[in-house]
Amino acid sequence: QVQLVESGGGLVQAGGSLRLSCAASVSTARSYTMGWFRQAPGKEREFVAAITRSGGNTNYADSVKGRFTISRDNAKNTVYLQMNSLKPEDTAVYYCAATPSLSTYERAKEYDYWGQGTQVTVSS
């Protein structure tokens, strides 16, 4: 069983920054793509960013492109989401996800494993 644990969420003012972390327990015999999704109250869960095991391929939602950066440290089995220039519209519960793949999927259904989520609130 793969376990994912997010951390780093909190309250921040508009224009500020946060770094989310996702500690993953995954097999070293497989290549896992890692992704970040978010869900605001009353809205569908939406794609934020994804990265392949090597870090050679990344994918971002248009709404966060240029502001957020996804990265990973395989030695620590951890994926990060650096969020800069935060906006109130970024307020949501952020989820880490994983799937054995070489592709940076945008569809939530493509991911097999999920963390419990961490709350990010951006005040205006």
Decide if 52 contacts 68 (C-beta within 8 A). Answer: no
Across the range 98-119, mean pLDDT stands at: 95
Residues 62, 28: Cα–Cα separation, whole Å: 31
User: Between β-strands 46-51 and 113-114, what pairing exists: parallel, antiparallel or unpaired?
Assistant: unpaired
Per-residue pLDDT band for 74 (boundaries 50, 70, 90) equals confident
Higher pLDDT: 74 or 93? It is 93
Q: Could you report the per-residue pLDDT of 27-51, keeping only the tens digit for each?
A: 666 788 999 999 999 999 999 999 9
**Closest to 90 in 3D by CA, of 25, 10, 29:** 10
pLDDT at 29: 61
Q: Over the chain, what is the mean pLDDT?
A: 94
Q: Which amino acid is at 12?
A: V
Three-class SS state of 90: helix
DSSP state of 25: E
| Radius of gyration of the chain measured on its C-alpha atoms | 13
What proportion of the chain, given as a percentage, has pLDDT over 90?
84
